[in-house]
Amino acid sequence: MARRELKYLVIHCTATPEGREVSAADIRRWHTSPVSKGGRGWKQVGYTDLFHLDGTVERLAGNNEDAWVDDWEITNGAAGYNSVSRHVVYSGGCSKDGKTAKDTRTNAQRTALERYVKDFHKRFPKVRIIGHNELAAKACPSFDVQKWLKSIGINQ
């Protein structure tokens, strides 16, 4: 079994309309259902943790919380980076019409994500915290992660 050093914490959004909750079952269906049934056909979900609208954090994929990515921990968040990354996601990221990228994080999600990221950074100071849009030509997570990190006192 391979282990690779953890290099990135990648923040994502579900790209769903503002105010719409997303369940772990929704994400599992989107990611692991066969392509013929509207899914992506992946073996594993794309994210380790999901931030619900109320700020609750739900574990989607097993993780032993160390500075290594074991094969069984790999999630499919960003092609080419999955074996050295941990991916987290918040419900939302689009305007109510579902078409326009928008930072829709609720106050509870902002608080939970800040707590999570600060704890993560304290435990793994060498791991770079980034938005999905820093790895791919996407709007996700619909906010500027580097600017946000500075605003919460994280300089990397």
The span from the CA of 13 to the CA of 27, in Å, is 11
Coil, helix or strand at residue 150: helix
What would the two tokens of residue 73 be?
A: 């921990």
Query: 3-148, superfamily in CATH?
Result: Peptidoglycan recognition protein-like (3.40.80.10)
Determine the pLDDT at residue 1.
67
The span from the CA of 150 to the CA of 83, in Å, is 27
What would the two tokens of residue 11 be?
A: 């923040």
Whether the predicted pLDDT of 42 surpasses 90: no
Determine the pLDDT at residue 101.
96
The span from the CA of 148 to the CA of 45, in Å, is 26
Determine the pLDDT at residue 43.
86
Give pLDDT tens digits for 91-140: 999 999 988 999 999 999 999 999 999 999 999 999 999 999 999 999 99
Give pLDDT tens digits for 44-64: 898 999 999 999 999 999 999
> Where are the chain's structural domains?
3-148
Q: Report DSSP state, residue 143.
A: S
The span from the CA of 67 to the CA of 122, in Å, is 12
How much is the mean pLDDT over the chain? 94
**Cα–Cα distance list, 139 to 6, 40, 99, 127, 131 (Å):** 24, 20, 11, 22, 9
State the distance between the two ends of the chain, measured CA to CA, in whole angstroms.
31
Give pLDDT tens digits for 77-93: 888 999 999 999 999 99
Determine the pLDDT at residue 77.
86
The span from the CA of 103 to the CA of 141, in Å, is 8
Give pLDDT tens digits for 1-35: 688 999 999 999 999 999 999 999 999 999 988 89
